[in-house]
Amino acid sequence: MDTPGPRSEQAAGRLQAIDLDETDHGIIDLLRADGRLPYRSIARELGLTEATVRARVRRLEESRTMRVVAVTDIEAAGFGMLLAIGVQVENRSPEEVARELAAVPEVFSVNVVVGAQDIEILMVAEDQVALHRLLHERIATMPGVRRLTPALAVNVLKNQPDWVPFDRDGAA
């Protein structure tokens, strides 16, 4: 399943991976629930010193194992629409098209796939006008893009991916 390109960056990232123990997992769980939890509270919760917690968090961050960030609700950010779009590619490598798609800020997830489609993307747009412009002027005209097969999300019940790679394009 390994392919050249961004995969190998991921493989390189993996080399720096650190072994996590119970304490690390305890800290990650608490920060997942509340990213602003003070070091003091984490220390109390886990029966550690504050200095230990600080050092552990720093180690998790420096090894790119964990980051504590603000995730913005797409609607609050002004995006009224979320779409999943299948992209068929011709005369160009899907990897190249995928990288070009990844450079579009509204395209927040890009995955090269096998099957009826070559690439699956998740994308947001402010409204119908913005969506039309993005699809037809930006994405459909991209070299290599043959057909777009969109689906519009009308109700998102869950969007809490914990597989997020944060050392990649657009996410760093």
Partner 1 sequence: MTRRTLDAVDRQIVARLSEDARVSNRQIAADLGVTEGTVRARVKRMEEERQIRITAVTNIDRFRHGALAYIWIEVERSHQVEAVAQALASINELGFVGEMLGRSDLLVITMVRSNEHLAEFVHQRISGIPGVRRTESTLGVNFVKHDYRMARIVS
- Is residue 83 within 8 Å of 131, Cβ to Cβ? yes
For residue 126, count CB atoms less than 10 angstroms from its CB and return exposed for 0-12, middle for 13-18, buried for 19 or more: middle
118: tokens are 């070559």
* Closer residue to partner 1 in complex, CB, 6/23: 6
DSSP label at residue 82: E
User: Which of 12, 51, 55, 113 contacts partner 1 by CB under 8 A?
Assistant: 113
Q: Which of residues 127-156 bind partner 1 (CB under 8 A)?
A: 149-156
User: Which of 15, 73, 137, 141 contacts partner 1 by CB under 8 A?
Assistant: 73
Single out the segment in contact with partner 1 by CB under 8 A; choices: 6-14, 42-50, 133-141. Answer: 6-14
Query: What 3-state DSSP class applies to 31?
Result: helix
Query: Mask: binding to partner 1, 20-59, rule CB under 8 A, as x and -?
Result: x-------x--xxxxxx--------------------x--
